[in-house]
Amino acid sequence: MVSIYSQKSDRDLILACQRREPAAFEEVVKRHQNTVYALLFQLAPDWTDTSDLCQEVFIRVWRNINNLRNPAAFRSWLTQVIINLFFEEIKSRARKATPKRPEDSEPLEALPVAVETTQGGGEELDENHLKLSDHEVVRKAMARIPEQLRTSLVLREMEGLNYEEIAVLTKTEMGTVKSRIAQARSQLQQVLAPQLEVALQSGANSSS
Amino acid sequence: MIACSKHRGNFSALIDEQLDFNTKFETQQHLNDCPECSEQLIQTRDMQAFIEKSLLAGAEAQPDIWQLLQDKMPKVCDLIREEYSAYIDDEISAAAQDGIKSHLDTCPICRRDFEQLKKANEAVSKVLKEPLSVKVDLWNSIKSQLNASCALITAELSPFIDQEVPNQRHRTVAAHMLTCQNCHSSFQKLAVLGDYLKENYVPDLPEDFDLMPQLSAKLRVTPLPADQPLVRNKRPYILGAAAVAALIGLIGLTFLLFSFLWREKPPMVTSEDYIIQYCLAEPPEKLEANIYDVTN
pLDDT at residue B60 in the model: 61
pLDDT at residue B266 in the model: 55
Q: Is residue A2 part of a domain?
A: no
Mutate to test the interface with B, among A129, A142, A156, A185 (most CBs of B within 10 A): A185
- pTM exceeds cut of 0.80: no
> Per the CB < 8 Å rule, is A142 touching B201?
yes
Q: How many CB atoms lie within 10 A of CB B84?
A: 18
pLDDT at residue B26 in the model: 87
> Per the CB < 8 Å rule, is B190 touching A189?
yes
Region B221-241 average pLDDT: 61
Confidence of residue B154 (pLDDT cuts 50, 70, 90): confident
> Per the CB < 8 Å rule, is B189 touching A138?
no
Q: Are residues A26 and A107 in the same domain?
A: yes
Region A51-62 average pLDDT: 90
Q: Is residue A1 part of a domain?
A: no
Q: Does any CB of chain B come closer than 8 Å to the CB of residue A158?
A: yes
Q: Are residues A108 and A12 in the same domain?
A: yes
Using the CB atoms, write b or e for B6-42: b if 16+ within 10 Å: ebbebbeebeeeebeeeeeeebeebbeebeebeebbe
Predicted confidence (pLDDT) at residue B61 exceeds the cutoff of 70: no
Contacts of A2 in chain B (CB under 8 A): 226
Q: Is residue A17 part of a domain?
A: yes
Q: What angle do CA A102, A107, A113 make, to 5 degrees?
A: 95
Number of domains in chain A: 2
| Distance (Å, whole) CA A17 – CA A74 | 12
pLDDT at residue A40 in the model: 93
Q: Residue A97: which domain range? A: 8-125
Q: Does any CB of chain A come closer than 8 Å to the CB of residue B207?
A: no
From A92, A125, A158, give the residue that closes a domain: A125
From A61, A94, A125, give the residue that closes a domain: A125
Q: Is the dihedral of CA B174, B180, B181, B186 positive or negative?
A: negative
Cβ(A145)–Cβ(A184) under 8 Å?
A: yes
Question: Considering only CA atoms, which of A159, A160, A143, A174 is closest in space to residue A82?
Answer: A159
> What mean pLDDT value characterizes chain B?
78
Q: What is the pLDDT of residues B70-112, one digit of tens each?
A: 677 778 888 888 888 888 888 878 888 888 888 899 889 888 8
Predicted confidence (pLDDT) at residue A180 exceeds the cutoff of 90: yes
Q: Are residues A184 and A113 in the same domain?
A: no
Contacts of B223 in chain A (CB under 8 A): 22-23, 26
Looking at CA atoms only, how far is residue A173 from chain B in angstroms? 14
Instruction: Indicate the residue of B155, B200, B223 with minimum beta-carbon distance to A22.
Output: B223
Q: What is the pLDDT of residues B18-56, one digit of tens each?
A: 888 888 888 888 888 888 888 888 888 888 778 777 776
How many Cβ pairs within 8 Å bridge chains A and B?
A: 127
> Per the CB < 8 Å rule, is A135 touching B189?
no
Q: Is residue A3 part of a domain?
A: no
From A76, A102, A125, give the residue that closes a domain: A125
Cβ(A189)–Cβ(B190) under 8 Å?
A: yes
Q: What is the pLDDT of residues A115-151, one digit of tens each?
A: 444 444 444 444 554 555 778 888 888 988 899 999 9
Region A145-164 average pLDDT: 91
Q: Is residue A139 part of a domain?
A: yes
